[in-house]
């Protein structure tokens, strides 16, 4: 267990529209508004996306299960923003449903909003943390000083 104590800063309400890319839009906004650390919440719909939903074995190397989203899904997600090499990096876990089929995982690569995505970001101040590439797993892990 490692932890860092900080406090809330600005809150940003963000609306993404049809066809926009979720991770790219969040990174671009975080850069523009100089958000170093943050947590955000997503509700909306997605018509394209890729979720990593676990690793095939409990030992490295991490070989992911992929779930591909095609056609519109309702989503609910929780993510965070920390810096990697001076640039904001997004980590977002989302659940997605279409009819009675539900998926859940870590959103990666390209995605496309369906209709609208409503995102609320809480900026966090005073956090002594960055995201750094871990040699053993190849993942960008949170490093708390």
Q: For residues 49-78, which are near a copy of itself according to CB under 8 A?
A: 51-55, 58, 62, 65, 67, 71-78
CB of 109 to a copy of itself, least distance (A): 16
The 4-23 contact track toward a copy of itself, x by CB under 8 A, reads xxxxxxxxxxxxxx--x---
CB of 136 to a copy of itself, least distance (A): 10
State the nearest-atom distance from the C-beta of 123 to a copy of itself, in Å: 9
List, as own/partner pairs, every contact residues 130-133 make where C-beta atoms lie below 8 angstroms and the sequence separation is at least 24, other chains included. 130/82, 130/83, 130/84, 131/82, 131/83, 131/84, 131/89, 131/91, 132/84, 133/84
| Interaction of residue 39 with a copy of itself, rule CB under 8 A | yes
Query: Are 127 and 18 spatial neighbours (Cβ–Cβ below 8 Å)?
Result: no
Least distance in angstroms from the C-beta of 45 to a copy of itself:
7
The neighbour count for residue 17, using CB atoms within 10 Å, is 10
Site for a copy of itself in 85-104 (CB under 8 A): 91-100, 102-104
Please name the residue that has the structure tokens 């990666």: 108
Site for a copy of itself in 106-125 (CB under 8 A): 106, 114-116, 118, 120, 122, 124
Question: Residue 27: is it exposed, middle or buried by C-beta count within 10 angstroms (0-12/13-18/19+)?
Answer: middle
Which strand (E) or helix (H) includes residue 137?
none
């Amino acid at each position: 267990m490692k932890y860092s104590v900080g406090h809330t800063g600005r809150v940003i309400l963000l609306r993404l529209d049809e066809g926009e890319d979720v991770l790219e839009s969040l990174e671009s906004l975080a850069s523009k508004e100089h958000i170093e650390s943050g947590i955000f919440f997503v509700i909306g719909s997605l018509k394209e996306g890729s979720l990593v939903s676990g690793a095939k074995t409990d030992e490295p190397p991490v070989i992911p299960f992929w779930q591909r989203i095609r056609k519109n899904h309702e989503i609910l997600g929780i993510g965070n923003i920390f810096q990697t090499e001076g640039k904001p990096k997004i980590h977002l876990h989302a659940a997605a449903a279409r009819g009675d089929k539900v998926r859940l995982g870590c959103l990666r690569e390209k995605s496309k909003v369906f209709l609208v995505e409503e995102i609320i970001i809480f900026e966090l101040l005073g956090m002594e943390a960055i995201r750094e590439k871990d040699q053993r797993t190849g993942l960008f892990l949170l490093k708390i000083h």
